[in-house]
Amino acid sequence: MTVDEVENRARAVLHMALGVDERYLTPQARLVDQLYADSMELLEMVMGLNEAFGIEIRAEDVAAIDTVADVYAAVRRLLGARVEHGV
């Protein structure tokens, strides 16, 4: 799976979990402060990401996530070697 594929799949999960139009899911968008995600939506996001990627995002991982870019970075980190850095 390439970095672009990871980000596209994660963006789709964010769109569904947060109910936010994808045009607002820019890397710098802050989940709570700008996209107004509440605790239930964040829980849906984590569960959706875990299912979509076969990973386990833990509480300490969630605490470090503030922006959409942080979501992408957390998923890539948890996927580790399974992410290809395509040209």
What are 26-80's pLDDT values in tens digits? 999 999 999 999 999 999 999 999 999 999 999 888 999 999 999 999 999 999 8
pLDDT over 70 at 16, yes or no: yes
Query: How large is the average pLDDT for residues 14-34?
Result: 97
How high is the pLDDT of residue 85?
61
Of the listed 38, 61, 66, 70, which one is catalytic? Answer: 38
Q: Select the more confidently predicted residue: 82 or 28.
A: 28
Decide if 38 is catalytic. Answer: yes
Whether 53 and 75 have beta carbons less than 8 Å apart is answered as yes
Using the 8-state DSSP alphabet, how is residue 87 labeled? -
Token pair in block for residue 15: 């769109």
Whether 57 and 78 have beta carbons less than 8 Å apart is answered as yes
How high is the pLDDT of residue 87?
41
